[in-house]
Amino acid sequence: MPVPHDLLADLNMSTDAFQALIDQDPDLHKLHKEYNAKDKQVLNAEHNGTGDETINTLRKERLLIKDKIERIVHQPKA
């Protein structure tokens, strides 16, 4: 059974802390929406028995979005 990916666990952040960042940064908000949409695509593909190559491509796309989010959330301190 496909399960949504837990972005906040990967980011090691609480929902409230992440929401505060999203509220302040429109780019992060946009990336979060893209991430959720891509995660939904992955889940649908896994549920519908889509081929492994397509699922792996979707997962890689989701990972790229997550990496962009991580760079924003965990910026080095100046």
Q: Is residue 78 part of a domain?
A: no
CA dihedral 61, 65, 70, 44 (to 10 degrees): -70
The CA distance from 15 to 41, in Å, is 22
Domain extent, residue 68, equals: 7-73
Give ∠ CA 36-41-55 in degrees, rounded to 5. 125
Q: Check whether 78 has a pLDDT greater than 70.
A: no
Q: Is residue 49 part of a domain?
A: yes
Tally of structural domains, the chain? 1
DSSP 48: T
Q: What is the pLDDT of residues 36-49, one digit of tens each?
A: 999 999 999 999 98
- What's the confidence (pLDDT) of residue 49? 86
Q: Check whether 23 has a pLDDT greater than 80.
A: yes
* Model confidence band, residue 1 (pLDDT cutoffs 50, 70, 90): low
Residues 49-62: what's their mean pLDDT? 95
